[in-house]
């Protein structure tokens, strides 16, 4: 259903995910540009809720507050949009939350009559490489697997 690459460099994890959707960029990017759709793409077990009052105007500097559950423990999470280049790219970075570092770049490319969605995620957590590899990385991968399933259901897909 798409390309997955993950690796650990020291205490940082890198996930690179790619999926081709048979819909035009003009339809795909607006879906991702609406912060409310993030909640639609996140699995229920994360207990993800956007706390920022909408509508959220996506632009460089936009702050978005969330509530999530990490293994049943409720946490607050705040991200900032640090790059906004519609319809090809945007980046969100954690300011406060469960990670010691989080940078998620979303890229969109037109290809073969559809759109390639690329998630380029780098993150680190407290507790070092063992916690990262055995607890956090499997959860993050499950979240992105779910995300792909939702995108396939909404837009169709081909790996």
How would residue 71 be classed by pLDDT, with cut points 50, 70 and 90? confident
Structure tokens at 101: 């570092």
Q: Which CATH superfamily is domain 3-155 in?
A: START domain (3.30.530.20)
- Mark 71-81 as b/e (b = at least 16 C-beta within 10 Å): eeeeeebebeb
| pLDDT single digits (tens) 4-36 | 444 444 567 888 999 999 999 999 999 999 999
On the question of pLDDT at 84 being above 60, the answer is yes
Q: Choose between 70 and 66: higher pLDDT.
A: 66
Partners of residue 107 on adjacent β-strands: 89, 118
Q: 72 Cβ partners below 8 Å, 6+ apart?
A: none
Q: Which residue has the higher pLDDT, 104 or 158?
A: 104
CB atoms within 10 A of CB 122: 17
């Amino acid at each position: 259903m798409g390309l997955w690459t993950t690796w650990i460099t020291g205490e940082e994890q890198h996930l690179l995910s790619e999926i081709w959707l048979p819909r035009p960029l003009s339809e795909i990017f607006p879906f991702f540009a609406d912060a409310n759709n993030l909640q639609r793409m996140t699995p229920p077990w994360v207990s993800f809720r956007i706390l920022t009052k909408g509508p959220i105007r996506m632009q460089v500097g936009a702050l978005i507050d969330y509530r999530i559950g990490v293994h049943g423990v409720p946490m607050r999470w705040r991200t900032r949009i640090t790059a906004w280049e519609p319809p090809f790219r945007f980046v969100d970075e954690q300011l406060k939350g469960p990670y010691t570092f989080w940078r998620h770049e979303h890229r969109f490319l037109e290809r073969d009559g559809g759109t390639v969605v690329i998630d380029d995620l780098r993150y680190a957590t407290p507790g070092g490489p063992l916690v990262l590899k055995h607890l956090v990385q499997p959860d993050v991968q499950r979240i992105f697997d779910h995300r792909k399933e939702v995108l396939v259901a909404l837009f169709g897909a081909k790996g």
